[in-house]
Amino acid sequence: MNSLMATCAVASSLFVALLAGRGVRRLLSDHHLSAESKDAVKFAMGMVATMTALVLGLLVSSAKDTYDTARGEIIQMAAKVTFLDRMLALYGTETADVRRELHDVVVGAVERMWPEDRNVPVRLNPDQRAGDAFFVAIQRLTPTEDTQRDLKSQAVSLAVELGELRTLLVVQSVPSVSIPLLTVVGCWLVLIFFTSSMLAPPNGMTAIAFAAAACSVAAALFLILELDQPFSGMLRISSEPMLVVLQHLGR
């Protein structure tokens, strides 16, 4: 889902609800706007506002968990790549070609996950050919002493763990925010803004307050949708951990 378009749609709906509420207010007779009637409507809308706040909180929590999980996996990948390179370096000079392959695999992964051109789609799925070739290269190492055998075993384990992390990123790329739930929240917000505008006196101060509230709610929904897409959009996860790793690979 395009988060910017969805946010604009929600904001537009809220402003239309505000205008509709003001229009309906002019058609209501005085007894509909009595203090008792207003209190009853405020009570009902208070219940709806409470439910809306709870659901928005759940959506924010879900989207933030998705973002933090993906970011944590990227940091783990960066750490494991660095450690794997050190294991290969300690193995001996015969791993020079394997380390170059590791560097090329990481460069390819960065280019696929963080393309320089924002119009190019992000590709979380790994380059299987390059990954398989690197794994086979590690397996073909022929240790001649116990230290090299231990280092090879650790290198193989780290390579497997890196493959698992890449697979997790692909599997977890499915949006976690429920579109029907967002739609229900949007309908509740439209109802709240409509009734609040209908009861409020039509002056400049209330117009500014409602406009600020509508923009704030739309911004919250924008953040939810952006956090739910950690590798695209304006709030995508930084590639800095992997770029730092690339500076140290092969040294």
Q: In this structure, are residues 227 and 66 in contact, taking their beta carbons and an 8 Å threshold?
A: yes
Model pTM? 0.81
State residue 75's pLDDT score. Answer: 92
Task: For residues 225-233, give the mean pLDDT.
Answer: 85
Task: For residues 30-55, give the mean pLDDT.
Answer: 82
State residue 84's pLDDT score. Answer: 92
Q: How confident is the model at residue 251 (pLDDT cuts 50, 70, 90)?
A: low
Q: What is the C-alpha radius of gyration for the chain, rounded to an integer number of angstroms?
A: 27
Lowest mean pLDDT among 5-19, 30-44, 166-180, 202-216: 30-44
User: For residue 73, which of 154, 156, 168 has the smallest C-alpha distance?
Assistant: 168
CB atoms within 10 A of CB 117: 6
Q: Per-residue pLDDT tens for 93-137?
A: 888 889 899 888 988 888 888 887 777 788 888 888 888 888 888
Out of 35-39, 113-117, 137-141, 247-251, the most confident range is: 137-141
The domain locations on the chain are 37-176+219-248
DSSP letter (8 states) at residue 251: -
φ and ψ of 185, to 5 deg: -60, -40
- Residue-by-residue DSSP string for 119-169: TSPP--S--HHHHHHHHHHHHT----SHHHHHHHHHHHHHHHHHHHHHHHH
Task: Extract the tokens encoding 76.
Answer: 């783990």
Q: How confident is the model at residue 79 (pLDDT cuts 50, 70, 90)?
A: very high
Residue showing tokens 């604009």? 8
Residues in the chain: 251
The 3-state DSSP class for residue 177 equals coil
φ and ψ of 167, to 5 deg: -65, -40
State residue 80's pLDDT score. Answer: 92
Q: Round to whole Å and give the CA distance between 95 and 139.
A: 11
